[in-house]
């Protein structure tokens, strides 16, 4: 009986060792450049089972508005969303980020929403070639893990880790499928640069 238990236990350990992903397989790398500030990050942001604290600090700095000192800690969930969408759609080796964390002053200057996820360090506007926007937005919508906005006129897709909803600069579609006039007005003001 004891021999059977030992053999079974050894077999279970061997099975776990071979089916568990290696540390290298669970590491996630991201490369991005903030087009407004020129700051960049290229490295492993998620190692093993959790976001790497040092990498998250570096990402927070790279994704912040110029002069933001200290930078607001960025939400790992939005990094994960952007990473997954980029991987699924093969966006490129270095992501072009138009906007990450916005200070209230910058948010007012760009006529961002008063409750913008950018103010919470929970959003990124990622530059996407116009022909790829529908595929990128659809991949993000399928994740159902936050907001997705398409800004064709400005050449980016907005991704955030807030409530699930979607919109575009040509109209909106909220998380429940109904139009949201407030989001339409925000999108139109953003498109017109007001």
Task: Give the pLDDT confidence of 121-174 residue by residue, as tens digits.
Answer: 999 999 999 899 999 999 999 999 999 999 999 999 999 999 999 999 865 544
The band of 187, judged by pLDDT with boundaries at 50, 70 and 90, is very low
d(CA 50, CA 13): 24
Whether pTM > 0.85 for this model: the answer is no
Position 25 confidence tier, pLDDT thresholds 50, 70, 90 = low
Q: What is the pLDDT of residue 49?
A: 87
d(CA 194, CA 180): 19
Tokens of 22: 């290696």
pLDDT at 142: 97
What is the distance between the alpha carbons of residues 143 and 111, in angstroms, rounded to a whole number?
28
Q: Are strands 28-34 and 123-127 parallel, antiparallel or unpaired?
A: unpaired
pLDDT for residue 24: 54
Condensed to tens digits (0 to 9), the pLDDT of residues 54-88 reads 999 999 999 998 888 889 999 999 999 999 999 99
Q: What is the pLDDT of residues 53-63, one digit of tens each?
A: 999 999 999 99
Neighbouring residues of 164: CB distance < 8 A, sequence distance ≥ 6: 144, 145, 146, 147, 175
- Tokens 């909106």 correspond to 172
Query: Does residue 180 have a pLDDT over 50?
Result: no
Residue 75 has a CB neighbour count (10 Å cut-off) of 22
Give the Cα separation of 168 and 181 in Å (integer): 12
Res 16 pLDDT > 80? no
Q: Are 190 and 112 in contact (CB under 8 A)?
A: yes
Share of residues in the chain with pLDDT > 70 (%): 74
pLDDT of residue 18: 41
Specify the DSSP class assigned to residue 145. Answer: S
Q: What is the mean pLDDT of the chain?
A: 82
Beta strands per DSSP E along 62-155 = 95-99, 123-127, 147-151
């Amino acid at each position: 009986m004891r021999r059977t238990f030992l053999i079974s236990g050894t077999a279970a350990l061997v099975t776990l060792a071979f089916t568990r992903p290696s540390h290298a397989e669970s590491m996630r790398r991201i490369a991005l450049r903030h087009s407004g500030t020129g700051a960049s990050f290229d490295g492993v942001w998620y190692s093993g089972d959790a976001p790497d604290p040092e990498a998250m600090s570096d990402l927070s700095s790279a994704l912040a508005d110029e002069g933001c000192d200290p930078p607001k800690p960025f939400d790992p969930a939005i990094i994960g969303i952007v990473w997954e969408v980029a991987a699924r759609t093969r966006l490129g080796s270095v992501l072009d980020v138009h906007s990450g964390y916005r200070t209230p002053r910058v948010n007012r200057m760009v006529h961002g929403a008063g409750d913008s996820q950018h103010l919470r360090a929970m959003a990124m506007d990622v530059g996407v070639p116009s022909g790829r926007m529908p595929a990128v937005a659809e991949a993000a919508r399928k994740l159902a893990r936050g907001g997705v906005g398409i800004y064709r006129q400005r050449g980016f897709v907005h991704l955030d880790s807030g409530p699930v909803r979607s919109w575009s600069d040509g109209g909106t579609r909220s998380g429940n499928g109904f139009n949201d006039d407030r989001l339409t007005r925000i999108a139109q003001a953003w498109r017109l640069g007001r």
